[in-house]
Structure 1
Amino acid sequence: MCSCILLAALKNADEMLKDIISAVDTSGDGKIQYEEFRVFVEAAERQLLQLFRSIDRDKDGRLNKEELQAAFRRAGLSVPKRRLSGFFDEIDLNHDGFITFDEWRDFLLFMPTNHNGSPLEAAFSFYSSIVTVNPEGDSLVSDETLEGLGYFLAGAVSGGVSRTATAPLDRLKVYLLVNTKTSSNVAIAAAKQGRPLVALRNAGGPIVDAIVSLWKAGGLRTFFAGKLLLGWSRVLSGTDSHAGNGLNVVKIMPESAIRFGSYEASKRFLAAYEGHNDPTQISTVSKFIAGGIGGMTAQFCVYPIDTLKFRLQCETVKGGPQGNALLLRTARKMWADGGLRAAYRGLGLGLVGMFPYSAIDIGTFELLKKSYTRAVARYYGIHEDDAQLSNVATAVLGATSGALGATIVYPLNVLRTRLQTQGTAMHPPTYTGIVDVATRTVRNEGVRGLYKGLTPNLLKVAPALSITWVCYENMKSLLKL
C-alpha cells in the first residue's frame, strides 16, 4: 500500500505507527492477527468510501480539484490553493488530474480514526504529517513556512514595483513638506478679492515652483533621488548621480515584504486567539490590528534607512556633491548629529503614525474587498470564494483605502519627516523633540503647515497603493497562497 511504504520510510513516524497498531490490535496482545487486520481494513475502506462519495458531487467515480476544494469549504476548512494542490497531487499517483477511489484508499488507509475534527480534516492532517520528512528522514520545509516566505516575496515585489512607478511624486512631496518658507498665497488672495480666474491660474503655484526647483537641481534624475529601483547597481559602480536611488532597493522591498509578511503572521496569531485558526475569518477589528502591527514592524526595521533617504533627498542641491560622495557625506553628517539616535529620530512619532495608517490602509482594503466580493457573489448567485476581484476593482479599493489612511495621519508624517531631516540643506532648522517641531510648525506656518505636500502625496498614494495591491493579489494567486 502507498501509505504503508510512506510510513515505513519515515524515521520519525513512531507515534503514528503506535496509533495504527493500537487501532488494529483489538485484542491488545501486542500482535496484529490476520483477522484483526482484515476487520480494520474493511472498516477503514467503508469510511473512506463514504467520505469519497460525499466529495464526488457529480457521481462519476473520481474526484477533481474543484470538488475537493468545495468539500473543504463545506467542512469549514481554509486551505490555500498551493496546499490543496499538494494534497491532490500526492494522492493522484498517475497524475491524470483525477483521484480514483483506489488512489484515495491506498493513500489514506492508515489515517488515524481518533481525530477530533471532521473526516476530511483528519485526511488533510494525515497528509500534512507524512510529508514533513522525505524517505531518507530529512526534514522538509513546512507548508506554513513556505506560505510565510511566499507572502514576504509577494510583498517585496509589489512594493518595489509601486514605489519605482511613483518615485517623482514622492520626491515632490518630500520637497514640499520640509520647505518651511512661507510665501504670499496669490490664489487665496485672488479668491478673497473675487477674482476666480486669477485664483485658479495660481492655485498650483507651490507645486509648480517645487517642480521647477527640483528640475534645476538635477533634471529628471532629481525626481528619482532615493527611489529608482535600478539605482543600487549604479551606486555600487559609482555612476549614480543621485546615490539615494540604491537606498530604495535596500528599503522599499524589505519594508513591503516585512509589512505584508508580518500582517499575514498577525492574522494567523489573531485567528488562533479567536479560537478558530482561520485567518480569512478573523473579525474586522482583528484585521485592522493585524494591519497596524505589520506597518509598525516594517517601520521599525527600516527606519534608519528611511531617515538616511529623507536626509539624502534634502541634501541634493544644485552644484553640490553627487553619487557616492553625497551618500557618504550625508551618512557621516547624520552620524555626527547623534549616531544611532539620529537615525531613529522621530521613531516614536513614526510608529504612532504608522499604526493607524497601516491599520486603516490594510483594514479598509480587506473590509471593502469582503463587501465587494459578497455583493458580487450575491448578484451572480455564486459562493464568495468564487467571486474574484478584477485588477481594476483591486486598484480602486487599494487607492481608496490608501488615500484615507494617508490623509488621516498626514500631520504626523510631516512632523516625523522634519525631525528626520533637520539640519539639512533644504531644512536647516533643528528641534528638541516632537513638541518643539509641532509647536514651531503651527506657529510659523499655521495648521496648513501640517498638510504641506498633501496633494502630491495623495497623487502618489492613490496609484502607489493601487499598484501595490494589484501586484500583491496577483503574486498571491501566482504563488497559490
Structure 2
Amino acid sequence: MSNNKSIEELQESKIKSLFNEIDVYKTGKIDLKTLQSALDKSDHPLKNNNDAILQLFNSLDLKNDKFIDYEEFKTYFIKAEVQILNGFKKLDSNSDGKINLHDLNKILQEKNINENDKFQKFITLLTNDDPKANYITYDQWRDFLLFVPRLNGSRLKTAYEFLNSNHNVDYNSEGDITVSNDLLKGLGFFLAGGLSGVVSRTCTAPFDRIKVFLIARTDLSSTLLHKKQSLAKNEIPLDKIKSPLIKAATTLYRQGGLRAFYVGNGLNVAKVFPESAMKFGSFEFAKKIMSNLEGVKDTSELSRFSTYIAGGLGGVFSQFTVYPVDTLKYRVQCAQLDTKLQGNKLLFQTAKNMYKEGGLKLFYRGVLVGVTGIFPYAALDLGTFSAMKKWYINKEAKKQNVSPDDIVMSNLIVLPMGAFSGTVGATVVYPINLLRTRLQAQGTYAHPYRYTGFKDVLFQTIQREGYPGLFKGLVPNLAKVCPAVSISYLMYENLKRVMSLE
C-alpha cells in the first residue's frame, strides 16, 4: 500500500509541478493566452501552432468555461498518460521499454502518414535532436505526446500531421478549392484544385450569370419591353413577373437561350489555373517574409496570425493579377446578346473596344475596391467557421460525455458549416463586390451609367435604388455557394485518388 501511495504522490507532485510551470501568471487558472505563452517559451514541438494549441486547450477545458483549473488539468493528465502508455505498449514489440525507430517508421508507413524527409524531422523532435539515437524511451514518448491534442483517436497521427502537414484544403468565395503547399511537390494538388474549380464554376455558372445581370440592370421593369418584336404572343410580359430572379432568368433565356447563362464562363474557368498559381506562389513568398519578421527558421512554425496575413496577401496579389480577366468577363456579360456578335468575336471585340476607350487602365477599373473586400471576407469566413466548429464539438462532447478531442466531424457536418461561414462573409462584403462590378461594367449595354470613382458609384446606387440596391444579386450569389463547395470537394477528393496523391 505504501508503495502504491508513493507512486500516487510522485504523480501528484509531477502534475502540480507541470501545472505551475504552465500557470506562468500564477493565477491558479490557465486561459488560452497563458497556455500559448507557456508553450512559446518552451521547446514544445507545437509552439507557434495556434491551431494545435486551441485544440489542446479545448481538450483541457473540461468545463468549457474558457479556463483550466488544477482539477481539470489533473483529470486530463491522468487520462492522457493512460492512453499514451497503452499506445507505447502496442509499439514496444519486445516489451523492453523502448520503441525501435525502424519499427516506428514501418508503423507510420502502414498508416499511410509517413514520408522519409518528414520522418527524420519527426524523429529529431522525439529524440531531442540526438543523431545517434536508434530508439525512443517511454519518458521521451510521454513528454512529446502529453500536450498533443488527440484527434481522430490518435495522438501520434495528430502530432505527425500537425508537424508535417504539407497541404491544407480550403475554399474561396467562389467555392473553389485552394491548396497551400510546396509548389514543386504540390503540382498534383495544384492540378486537382484547378480542375475541381473548372468543374465547379461551370456547374454554377448560371447563378453567377444571373447575379451579374441583376447587378448591371438597375431597372428590371423596363427590361426588353422596348423590343416587343422579340417577344412571342404567348409569352408572359416581363412587367407581369414580380420575382427579380425569374425576371432576370427569363430575360437571359429570351435573349440567347440556355447559352446565355454561360456567357463569360470560358473566361471564368480560364483564370482558375493562373489565379491558383499566383495565389500559391505569392502565399509561399509572403510566408518566407513573415518567417523572417517573426524570427522562425521554417514557414511551418509561423503563427496563425502571420499565416492568415500571408494568405491574405496571396489572395490580393492573385486577384490583382487576374483582375483584367474579371473586368473583361463582366463587360462581355453586360453586352447585348441578341445580336450576331457572339462567342469569341464578342470577346475580342469587347477587349478591343475597352483598350481603345481607356487603354490598360480601363481593365483595372475598381481594382482597389476589389482587393479591399478580400481581408474582411476571409476574416469573417474563418471566424464564423471556427466558432461553429468549436460550438459543435463542445456540444457533442457534452452529449456523448467524452473529451472534445475525441469528437470527429464528418464531411456532412463540415460542408454545410463551410457553406454557411462563406455565406456570412459573402453577405457582409457583398456591397463592395457589387460596387466593384458596376465600376467594371460601366458604359456597357446593360449598365450604361458612368462613374468617377467609388464614392460616385455608391452615391448613385443609393440614389437610384436605395440601400437594398447594394444587395442586388445576393440571392443567386449565395445559391451557388453550397453546390460550388460540394462539387469542388467531391472533384478534389476523387482527383486525388485518381492521381494517387494520397
Find 1:309's aligned residue among 281, 305, 329: 329
Q: CA deviation at 1:178?
A: 0.7
Pick from 191, 194, 200 the counterpart of residue 156 of structure 1. Answer: 194
The alpha-carbon deviation at position 87 of structure 1 amounts to 4.6
**1:292 is aligned to 2:312:** yes
CA contact (8 A) 2:220 2:244 kept: no
Q: Give the SS at the match of 1:168.
A: helix
Q: Are 2:92 and 1:59 aligned? A: yes
Alignment CA distance shift 1:152-1:361 (3 Å): farther
- Report matched runs for 1:124-135 at 5 Å: none
Counterparts of 2:276 and 2:249, CA distance in 1:
28
Q: Could you tell me which of 461, 464, 467 is aligned with 1:444? A: 464
Query: Aligned residue for 1:353?
Result: 373
Check whether the contact 2:282–2:313 (CA below 8 A) recurs between aligned residues: yes
CA RMSD in angstroms, aligned pairs only: 4.6
The verdict on how the C-alpha distance between 1:449 and 1:419 changes in structure 2, with shifts beyond 3 A counting, is same
> Structure 1 CA distance, aligned partners of 2:426 and 2:109?
38
| Match status 1:255 vs 2:293 | no
Query: 2:342 corresponds to which residue?
Result: 322
Q: What is the CA deviation profile of residues 375-401 of structure 1, one whole-angstrom value per residue up to 9, with x for unaligned ones?
A: 7788595895x8654332231122012
Instruction: State the 1:262 CA deviation.
Output: 5.0
For 1:261 and 1:423, how far apart are their aligned partners in 2?
35
TM score, norm. by length of structure 2: 0.57
Distance 1:449 1:395, change over 3 A: same
Task: Assess, with a 3 A threshold, how the Cα gap between structure 1 residues 344 and 225 changes in structure 2: closer, same or farther.
Answer: same
Q: 2:425 aligns with which of 391, 405, 416?
A: 405
Q: Which residue of 2 is the match for residue 166 of structure 1?
A: 204
User: How far off is 1:367 after superposition?
Assistant: 5.8
Paired amino acid for 1:84: N
Distance in 2 between residues matched to 1:206 and 1:344, nearest whole Å: 30
Q: 1:288-315, CA deviations, whole angstroms, 9 ceiling, x for partnerless residues?
A: 5344333212211110111111111111
Cα distance in 2 for residues equivalent to 1:89 and 1:290? 27
One-letter amino acid of the structure 2 residue matched with residue 168 of structure 1: P
Partner of 1:85 in structure 2?
115
Quickly say closer, same or farther: Cα 1:264–1:469, change in 2 above 3 A: farther
Equivalent residues of 1:65, 1:85 under 8 A apart = no
- Aligned pairs (5 A) from 1:35-434: 57-60=90-93, 63-64=103-104, 68=108, 84-87=114-117, 144-149=182-187, 152-181=190-219, 183=221, 205-227=243-265, 245=266, 247-256=267-276, 258-259=278-279, 279=300, 282-283=303-304, 285-286=305-306, 288-362=308-382, 364-365=384-385, 368=388, 384=405, 389-434=409-454
Distance, in Å, in 1 between the alignment partners of 2:294 and 2:370 is 29
Q: Which segment is superposed worse, 255-264 or 205-214? A: 255-264
C-alpha deviation, 1:334, in angstroms: 1.2
User: 2:339 is paired with a residue of what secondary structure?
Assistant: coil
- Give the Å deviation of 1:326: 0.6
Residue identity matched to 2:374 = M
Q: Structure 1: which 5+ runs fail to align?
A: 1-53, 71-80, 91-107, 113-117, 122-142, 185-201, 228-244
Q: Retained in 2: the 8 A contact 1:55–1:67?
A: no
Report the TM-score, using the length of structure 1 for normalisation: 0.59
Partner of 1:31: none
> Percent identity of the aligned residues?
44
CA contact (8 A) 1:271 1:278 kept: yes
Q: Decide whether aligned partners of structure 1 residues 111 and 340 sit closer, same or farther in structure 2, where only a CA change above 3 A counts.
A: farther
Partners of 1:254 and 1:413 in 2: CA distance: 21
Contact 1:358 1:405 in 2 (8 A): yes
1:134-191 Cα offsets, whole Å, 9 max, x none, are xxxxxxxxx944455455344323322321221110000000011122649xxxxxxx
Change (3 A) 1:296 1:479: farther
Match of residue 465 from structure 1: 485
Cα deviation, 1:83-137, whole Å, max 9, x if unaligned, reads 83335899xxxxxxxxxxxxxxxxx97789xxxxx9999xxxxxxxxxxxxxxxx
CA distance in 2, matches of 1:324, 1:441: 32
The one-letter code of the counterpart of 1:159 is: G
Residue 60 of structure 1 aligns to a residue in which SS?
coil
Aligned-partner residue type, residue 418 of structure 1:
R
User: Match for 1:85: what amino acid?
Assistant: E
How far apart, in 2, do the equivalents of 1:335 and 1:405 lie? 34
Give the aligned residue type for 1:60. S
Q: Contact 1:262 / 1:293 at 8 angstroms: preserved in 2?
A: yes
Structure 2 counterpart SS, 1:317: coil
Alpha-carbon separation, structure 2, partners of 1:257 and 1:468: 17
Q: Which amino acid aligns with 1:346?
A: G
SS of 1:431's partner is coil
Cα distance per residue 1:416-475 (max 9 Å; x no partner)? 001111111111112111111111111111111111111111112233234445655777
User: Once the 2 structures are TM-superposed, how far is the Cα of residue 207 of structure 1 from its aligned partner?
Assistant: 1.0
Question: 2:105 touches 2:119 (CA, 8 Å); kept in 1?
Answer: no
Contact 1:399/1:461 (8 A) holds in 2: yes
| Cα deviation code 1:248-281 (max 9, x no counterpart) | 2321343245446655775676577556757598
Output the CA distance in 2 between the equivalents of 1:280 and 1:160: 33
Change in CA separation of 1:225 and 1:182 when aligned onto 2, cut-off 3 Å: closer
Tell me how far apart the structure 1 counterparts of residues 384 and 284 of structure 2 sit (CA, whole Å): 15
Which residue identity is paired with 2:467? Answer: V
Other-structure match for 1:98: none
Corresponding pairs, count: 347
Structure 2: which 5+ residue stretches go unaligned?
1-86, 95-99, 121-129, 135-139, 145-180, 223-239
Q: Deviations over 1:24-59 (max 9, x none)?
A: xxxxxxxxxxxxxxxxxxxxxxxxxxxxxx977432
* Moved segments of 4+, more than 3 Å: 54-57, 64-70, 86-90, 108-112, 118-121, 143-155, 256-283, 285-291, 362-384, 386-389, 465-481
